[in-house]
Chains A and B, each alone.
Chain A
């Protein structure tokens, strides 16, 4: 199988793409370039893990929200008034 040639990124270019990489908002080609850089640069790989970890922990805690038990009933009551 023919191996795909990857245009390597510098650390600065890799870090600039990190948020988009984490969010999978890059093209396939750009995703491959960042992935390749993270596989070959321990410093940027550590940076990536830290960023991803912060996002995950914040996301998990932000989603722990209890909805007031009577909120739907109050909304229905207001809709009834329409």
Chain B
């Protein structure tokens, strides 16, 4: 390795030592934000590159994770805005409380010692949960991803996506309801509900 290469490695090292432990959660969040693994890999790489270029603006001692996720969210938002033609499957109308519970009971789903909702969710795999998440409109998906995957508080999410806490609160409340409806739709679309309510399932 040349002296120049060594110097560059030393230059990258502080950034990489903070970024590497975040890779798993960054990729997890990216996969829930975009729809496919190749897109998630692109998004993480793009965010890492932008973060590295802007690393001189990061203040040591502050929260690197929040700083990096702000960049990741910005990359997603600008990509999402470029691709507005991406379908937003769910209308933003009012969704009743306990949506999933009501649908599972109406459909006659039941389990031996679990609630109908637990029975249904127990049958949905990670891919199907991801598919439901992908059906949320981008702005809602962003706050829901940070909430579910990162356990960020409303205040932290507001800092990452750059909007007031009140907006995060209302988007998150709606996102949770939209997600219940999307989970139900995925279960219906993929034949899970009919399998669970078929005579031999009971």
Q: Give the B-binding residues of A (Cβ under 8 A).
A: 15, 19-20, 23, 25, 47, 50-51, 53-55, 57-59, 61-65, 67-68, 71-72, 74-76, 78-80, 82
A6 to B150, CA, bound (A): 34
Q: Indicate if the CB atoms of A53 and B27 lie closer than 8 Å.
A: no
A5 to B117, CA, bound (A): 36
Provide the residues of chain B in CB contact with A50, threshold 8 Å.
Answer: 98, 101, 115, 117
Q: When the two chains form the complex, which single residue of A20, A51, A64 contacts B126, counting CB atoms closer than 8 Å?
A: A64
Q: When the two chains form the complex, which single residue of B8, B37, B149, B173 contacts A62, counting CB atoms closer than 8 Å?
A: B149
**B56 on interface, CB distance cutoff 8 Å:** no
Which residue among A47, A58, A78, A82 has the maximum number of chain B CB atoms within 10 Å of its CB? A58
The contact sample of 7 A-B pairs, CB cut-off 8 A, is A51-B98, A62-B28, A62-B32, A65-B31, A75-B19, A79-B49, A80-B12
Provide the residues of chain A in CB contact with B8, threshold 8 Å.
Answer: 80
| Chain B binding surface SS class | helix
Provide the residues of chain B in CB contact with A80, threshold 8 Å.
Answer: 8, 12
- Given contacts A65-B27, A65-B31, list 12 more A-B pairs with CB under 8 A: A23-B147, A50-B98, A54-B100, A57-B118, A59-B149, A63-B149, A67-B23, A71-B41, A71-B45, A75-B19, A78-B45, A79-B52
Provide the residues of chain B in CB contact with A23, threshold 8 Å.
Answer: 147, 153-154, 172
A19 to B118, CA, bound (A): 19
